[in-house]
């Protein structure tokens, strides 16, 4: 008869110990297929344990399928556990982590100033929401996003961007990854999509990953040329008309109207207006959004809180034309909103309490100060006679053309030797052959303080002494 040592001092209960011992015997082949197990009563008396203990162990083995019961005959092992199961699992290796260069100064464009976020106020609002509102919302999952939050977004869009929209047309999602996915599902994988060249390469990668045909459309000095869109047979164009990324072009009104007309000529055509950093314009009025002049309802407006709050918040949103809202309801309403409900309620309160507006105003001053400092540092640098700065009126980056025979790669590599990360314009191109001869560096400054900006330019003076 089965004899196991069961240990009363073991933190596992006797029934668990018995269950594990029998399971082990089956797995190791001590107990073979069709072998009969002792009756519960006999085993209990043999091991001097209660009948209930044996019953529980047998029940668990039955549930997991190690044994089966034949009425009035008893319990039997179901099977020999074959090679696969007996094989030793190969030992796991730790994953190699590639050693990355550690930069001292990184002029990246996709960060915010982490030191200026109103953590106290945010913590207070979070706490209030969790204690007051979460109970009534913890099971909630609005398809389009939390309605009150979408109301606040509609208000912001009207007052900051001159866009009139209903909350019902707004969809909240966790980043461009999610919104672009929804758009591809909504508009169809069979359409021809296009992005600007140069642009944020990730968007191109997303459209491609989602299985669409996607073309990178070269820009002229006013932005997208409609005749190129026509020539390339594009249906959908993803564009940044108010501040082209990364080149900083503002698409003039005439060009905007051409684009809107182009879209209106065919049912399949849509313009995706990516208004990624419209919150920060340092000169004059904000550039109006194209969506504000969208008489034919052909513009899908997209923005996020990545620049105005933080990229790690993962909150983006888009406005769908009326026609697409109905299609979305009918075909994609099985998607839940991808942003946690609490986070949406917190942002709703952050906006309605006025903290959001205060924060934006503070950040605008803060970023303007950094921008001015960086421009002044560049203009007083040892290479100041070789540079032309442009695209500095808006957003959290600008461009610097550098007169040199050296390549952009040389400029980036030399900076890297001094542990400074700068970004060449060519890094934003899909088609290398479209890269122009001009040597251009894209400077982001949002998460560097004035000291770091100074240090960065000092190191670049050393790095670029032979250009």
Closest CA to 277 of 406, 367, 382: 367
Stretch 297-356 residues interacting with a second copy (CB under 8 A): 310-315, 322, 325, 332, 334-343
* Nearer CB in complex with a second copy: 310/375: 310
CB of 405 vs a second copy, minimal distance in Å: 31
Long-range contact list for 413-418, CB < 8 A, 24+ apart? 414/463, 414/464, 415/459, 415/460, 415/463, 415/464, 416/101, 416/103, 417/463, 418/104, 418/459, 418/460, 418/462, 418/463
Stretch 92-151 residues interacting with a second copy (CB under 8 A): 92, 94-95, 111-112, 114-115, 117, 119-120, 122-123, 126-127, 130-131, 134-141
Number of residues that bind a second copy (CB under 8 A): 101
Say which DSSP state 201 is in.
H
Q: How many angstroms separate the CA atoms of 390 and 123, rounded?
A: 38
Query: Is 59 a residue that touches a second copy (CB under 8 A)?
Result: yes
CB of 388 vs a second copy, minimal distance in Å: 18
CB of 315 vs a second copy, minimal distance in Å: 8
Question: What are the distances in angstroms from CA 109 to CA 384, 392, 396, 397, 450?
Answer: 22, 13, 7, 6, 16
Query: Is 71 a residue that touches a second copy (CB under 8 A)?
Result: no
CB of 393 vs a second copy, minimal distance in Å: 7
- On the CB side of 159, CA atoms within 13 Å amount to 7
Query: Is 261 a residue that touches a second copy (CB under 8 A)?
Result: yes
Query: Is 76 a residue that touches a second copy (CB under 8 A)?
Result: no
Site string for a second copy, 425-444 (x = CB under 8 A): --------------------
CB of 169 vs a second copy, minimal distance in Å: 8
CB of 261 vs a second copy, minimal distance in Å: 6
Among 168, 225, 427, 461, binds a second copy (CB under 8 A): 168
Stretch 141-160 residues interacting with a second copy (CB under 8 A): 141
Query: Strands across the sheet with 170-173, in order?
Result: 170-173, 316-319, 299-304, 270-274, 236-239, 192-197, 213-218
Stretch 218-237 residues interacting with a second copy (CB under 8 A): 222
* Nearer CB in complex with a second copy: 283/437: 283
Query: Is 284 a residue that touches a second copy (CB under 8 A)?
Result: yes
Task: Annotate 213-266 with three-state secondary structure.
Answer: EEEEEECECCECCHHHHHHCCCCEEEECCCCCCCCCCCCCHHHHHHHHHHHHCC
Q: How many CB atoms lie within 10 A of CB 392?
A: 18
Query: Is 63 a residue that touches a second copy (CB under 8 A)?
Result: yes
């Amino acid at each position: 008869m089965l004899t196991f040592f069961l240990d009363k001092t073991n933190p596992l209960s006797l029934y668990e110990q018995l269950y594990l011992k029998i399971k082990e015997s089956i797995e190791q082949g001590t107990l073979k297929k069709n072998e009969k197990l002792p009756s519960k009563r006999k085993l209990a008396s043999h091991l001097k344990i209660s009948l209930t203990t044996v019953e529980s162990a047998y029940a668990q083995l039955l549930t997991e399928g190690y044994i089966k019961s034949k009425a009035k005959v008893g319990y039997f092992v179901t099977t020999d556990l074959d090679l696969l199961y007996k094989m030793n699992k190969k030992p796991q290796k730790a994953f190699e982590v590639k050693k990355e260069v550690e930069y001292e100064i990184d002029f990246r464009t996709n960060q915010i100033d982490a030191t200026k976020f109103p953590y106290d106020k945010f913590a207070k609002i979070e706490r209030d929401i969790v204690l007051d509102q979460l109970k009534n919302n913890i099971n909630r999952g609005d398809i389009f996003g939390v309605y009150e939050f979408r109301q606040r977004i509609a208000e912001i869009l009207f007052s900051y961007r001159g866009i009139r929209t209903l909350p019902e047309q707004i969809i909240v999602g966790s980043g461009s990854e999610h919104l672009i996915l929804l758009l591809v599902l909504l508009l169809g994988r069979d359409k021809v999509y296009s992005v600007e060249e140069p642009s944020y390469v990730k968007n191109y990668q997303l459209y491609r990953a989602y299985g669409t045909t996607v073309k990178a459309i070269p820009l002229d000095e006013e932005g997208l040329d409609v005749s190129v869109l026509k020539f390339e047979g594009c249906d959908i164009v993803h564009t940044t008309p108010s501040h082209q990324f990364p080149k900083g072009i503002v698409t003039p009104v005439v060009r905007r109207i051409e684009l809107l007309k182009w879209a209106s000529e065919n049912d399949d055509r849509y313009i995706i207006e990516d208004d990624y950093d419209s919150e920060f314009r340092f000169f004059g009025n904000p550039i109006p959004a194209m969506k504000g002049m969208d008489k034919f309802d052909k513009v899908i407006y997209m923005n996020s809180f990545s620049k105005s709050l933080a990229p790690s918040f993962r909150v983006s949103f888009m406005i769908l034309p009326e026609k697409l809202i109905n299609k979305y309801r009918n075909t994609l309403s099985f998607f839940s909103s991808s942003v946690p409900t609490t986070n949406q309620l917190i942002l709703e309160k952050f906006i309605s309490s006025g903290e959001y507006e205060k924060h934006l105003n503070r950040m605008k001053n803060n970023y303007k100060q950094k921008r001015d400092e960086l421009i002044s540092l560049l203009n007083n640098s040892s290479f100041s006679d070789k540079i032309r700065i442009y695209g500095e009126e808006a957003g959290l980056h600008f461009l610097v053309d550098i007169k040199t025979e050296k390549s952009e790669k040389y400029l980036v590599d030399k900076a890297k030797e001094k542990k400074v990360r700068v970004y060449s314009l060519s890094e934003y191109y899909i088609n290398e052959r479209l890269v122009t001869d001009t040597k251009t560096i894209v400077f982001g400054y949002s998460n560097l303080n004035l000291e770091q900006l100074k240090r960065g330019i000092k190191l670049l003076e050393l790095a670029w002494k032979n250009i």
